[in-house]
Amino acid sequence: MTSEDGDGFRFLWYLNRADGTVPWQSEHRVAPSLEHLRQTVAEIDRLGYYGVLCTAREPIALVSATEQLRFLVPEYPGAKPPAMMAEQAQVFDHYSGGRLIINQVNGADPVLARYGRFEGKDERYRVSAEYWETVRRMYGDDPSAVEGEYFTAGPQYKPAIPGPRQERLALWGTGASPAGVAHAAQVLDVYLSFLAEPAGLARTFDTVRAAAAQAGRELPCGVLASVIVRDTDEQAWEHFEWQLSQTDPAEMRRLADRNLRSFGFPGLEEITSPDPQVQARIEALRAGRLPGRDELEFAPGLAAGLTTWTSGEPPFDIAGKGSGNYLIGSPRTVAQSLERLSEQLGARTWILSGWPLAAEARRFAEQVMPLLMESPVAAR
């Protein structure tokens, strides 16, 4: 069920410093510590997940708590010199036995300015293509000098860091604009997207696969989503609504406005949506309340919610980015949703989150994964 060649499901779990029953609210958050992260990642490893999307600052400190788990680690292209990035990847693979995957993040203007990168969005993809080509060469101990448009470096003289090497340093990432799709087709090994409205997401994946085919490549696709699994559908929805009840509407209104503006959207008072359900969420936040289930459930067992994927995303998917979308239900309901979506999207890699992280990972692994092992999708 966790094969690397696409013939079955491949599940990763989210690992973040923010944990707890309602981690976007400080009163329900576990105090962050290295020990808590190590305990959590050890449990995810024990449960048989393919990997973790690890946003902890020093993921290499967690490797010794695991045996098989791969680490998908976000990196901004150009934020580190290519030689430093290559050496860090070599060290990580030396200590992990070759279990590093890079999550290539194109980033937003305010974030990248902190790291001295000021290219526009489309140019960042050109920077990224050159950057990762250079990093991969250096990771493979190519000794030649680099003379590129964006990166220049002298020949490599230092001895290679010992340890396992991947044949090709793995890069997973996203990018939905024309420039982003072209970049994905050239650079990435797995294309990722948050769980959006299924028909629209299927079109995006088809576009990406067609671009990769034109470049003579196959590009698997993967989906990021949150999940709530309980013994019954009713209990799962009760937990989803309980998390909402513990959430501060005024804080969500403030975050929605700030985060919309940081991504270049109009603020909360100006933004509109052609989707009546999304417009209802916007109006609820403007009125100082949180949207209800009827405004959040956009398909059976799928709902827009809250997450800690990134603190910069607008809540309740009011910008159509899909970052807080959930699979909700009993083990059978969630398994059927995953089967249906995997077929519709042609995507069998899933990066999931749920809170508390270890507890929800355990529920999914013990109650949903066994059902999917029986699935005809998993048998292909």
The radius of gyration computed from the CA coordinates of the chain, to the nearest angstrom, equals 21
pLDDT at position 6 is 44
Least confident of 109-113, 135-139, 374-378: 374-378
- C-alpha angle 319/324/329, rounded to 5°? 135
**Could you give all domains of the chain from N- to C-terminal order, each with its CATH number?**
10-230+330-373 (3.20.20.30), 235-321 (no CATH)
Q: What is the mean pLDDT of the chain?
A: 90
* Chain position carrying tokens 């009760």: 238
Distance (Å, rounded) from C-alpha 41 to C-alpha 76? 23
Query: Of the segments 181-190, 262-271, 365-374, which one has the largest average pLDDT value?
Result: 181-190
Summarize pLDDT for 140-149 with one digit per residue, the tens: 988 889 999 9
d(CA 323, CA 308): 9
Going by C-beta distance under 8 Å and a sequence separation of 6 or more, which residues neighbour residue 283?
A: none
Residues near 188 by beta carbon (within 8 Å), at least 6 away in sequence? 104, 171, 172, 173, 219
The helix/strand/coil state of 15 is strand
Residue 200 burial by CB count (10 A; 0-12/13-18/19+): exposed, middle or buried? exposed
Cα dihedral sign for 194, 195, 197, 203?
Answer: positive
Residue 59: per-residue pLDDT: 94
Q: Which two tokens stand for residue 306?
A: 């809250």
Per-residue pLDDT tens over the stretch 210-229: 999 999 999 999 999 999 99
Backbone torsion region of residue 30, taken as left when φ is above 0, otherwise alpha when ψ lies between -120 and 50, otherwise beta = beta
Determine the Cα–Cα distance for residues 61 and 70; give it in Å rounded to an integer.
14
CA–CA distance, 60 with 331 (Å, rounded to integer): 33
How confident is the model over 20-49, as pLDDT tens digits?
999 999 899 999 999 999 999 999 999 999
5 pLDDT band, cuts 50/70/90, is very low
> Could you tell me what percent of the chain has a pLDDT over 90?
74
> 303, 240 in Cβ contact below 8 A?
yes
pLDDT at 1 > cutoff 50: no
Q: Give the length of the chain.
A: 380
At 310, the pLDDT band (50, 70, 90 cuts) reads: low
Is residue 268 pLDDT above 80, yes or no?
yes
pLDDT exceeds cutoff 70 at 272: yes
192 and 174 Cβ atoms separated by less than 8 Å: yes
Tokens of 224: 């990021």
Average pLDDT of span 352-358: 97
Angle between helices 178-187 and 121-139 (to 10 degrees): 10
- Cβ contact 316:279 at 8 Å: no
Mark residue 269 as left, alpha or beta (left: phi above 0; alpha: psi -120 to 50; beta: remaining). Answer: alpha
Q: Is the pLDDT of residue 375 over 60?
A: no
From the list 163, 162, 211, 161, the residue with the least C-alpha distance to 187 is 211
In this predicted model, what pLDDT tens digit does every residue of 171-204 receive, in sequence order?
Answer: 999 998 999 999 999 999 999 999 999 999 999 9
Nearest CA to 27 out of 239, 246, 238 is that of 246
Summarised one tens digit per residue, pLDDT across range 81-122 is 999 999 999 999 999 999 999 999 987 666 666 766 656 778
Contact 160, 93 (CB under 8 A): no
